[in-house]
Structure 1
């Protein structure tokens, strides 16, 4: 549904674990997550009350997106390396070929955006679990398993079994930002909520967590990450 001509169609998702209505504004879409039993009247009222905020936030997001370069990068800096990875776009069968020692990756130039994203997912699945394990030992906050996903709304999550999920896109950010998200989820293994005790636990290991949290809320991922974040539905 849409509440104003200045906004795109709002995607409404009903979720069994949702306890309240929650809006998310992305570079090219807006999502509203609602509890399963939420009525259409409640949804309409919530959107009407949120209209000013939605318009302002959407416009800010568009400005950020427009200011980003729209060309594919020739190099990319990832969270755990002080050396940028050089990117070559070539004709080849493989989606990508990574030469770790040479800090180079060859990307299949056919569907280059999709293949570049595939490389980022590959890199994240190899690097993020290792980094999380390292921090877990340093902080004495053990976890069970680590899953890396292309999450659309969360940077990370921790369930009651202490399984932690991390967003693959984190590797595109500086290491202190990745560290904040990892510590945040590890702290949930001790406090499964956002109580004062949780924030105190987090602050023990990240005294600048408020600044890091704000950075994630105000920064934008590269355009090519969003462009291939959702495949078109060909069944319609």
Structure 2
């Protein structure tokens, strides 16, 4: 479906129809704005919704761009889920794109295209530790699943298929443990209720008493500039 233009203060809004969508949902990211709509939503309804949301979009987009401008410097250290100490980042000429020194808490990355090297390091780290943690949470709350994949989707922190295969966003390792656990609980709850019904949210609440606050935090999380940079 074609994009919908607002005013000059905003980028084009990418409109995507989703078979499982029940409501219109906006997602603002530093690289663009996405509107997910139900299959039978009309163009007039979309335009009205965007008009009503325009001021919020302008404020949110402007705030994110300001935060990006303030944080464009390449990091000297990186805090990663599952490790209490940050990894000191060292850029140098080397054969490998990245290499972790687990004992010294150092991350060596190739100095050519350092953003790409850091993205690759985060993805590899996530593939090692997120499945392990999901399995831990699964056993803790008694909700089994089939398999776990770690990817870099643009719009979702996680997903669960009808076969109970769970996908987790690699960027979760850049977040606090409470947010990672909240996403794991959410997706594991889908193995029991494959919808967002009252029964589903009741299941989530059983295992995450602060799930409403965690949902709010996840919606407001701003990933660092280098994570979004296209290589």
Distance 1:193 1:17 in 2: 9
1:26 maps onto 2:29 in alignment: yes
Q: Which stretch shifts more, 41-50 or 101-110?
A: 41-50
TM-score normalised over the length of structure 2: 0.90
Q: Does residue 171 of structure 1 match 2:173? A: yes
Match for residue 54 of structure 1 among 53, 57, 67: 57
Gaps of 5+ in 2: none
Query: Residues 204-219 of structure 1: matches in 2 within 5 Å?
Result: 204-219=206-221
For normalisation by structure 1, the TM-score amounts to 0.88
Counting only pairs closer than 5 Å after superposition, residues 56-75 of structure 1 correspond to structure 2 as: 56-67=59-70, 69-75=71-77
Q: Over the residues paired in the alignment, what is the CA RMSD in angstroms?
A: 1.9
Aligned partners of 1:196, 1:152: CA distance in 2, in Å?
27
1:70-219 map, 5 Å: 70-219=72-221
Question: Structure 1 residues 125, 104: closer, same or farther in 2, change over 3 A?
Answer: same
| Structure 2 CA distance for aligned equivalents of residues 19 and 196 of structure 1 | 15
Q: CA shift at 1:15, angstroms?
A: 3.8
Distance 1:207 1:47 in 2: 33
Q: State how far apart, in whole Å, the 1-side matches of 2:220 and 2:45 are.
A: 29
Equivalenced residue count is 228
Whole-Å separation in 2 of the counterparts to 1:227 and 1:41 = 34
Q: What SS class does the counterpart of residue 154 from structure 1 fall into?
A: coil
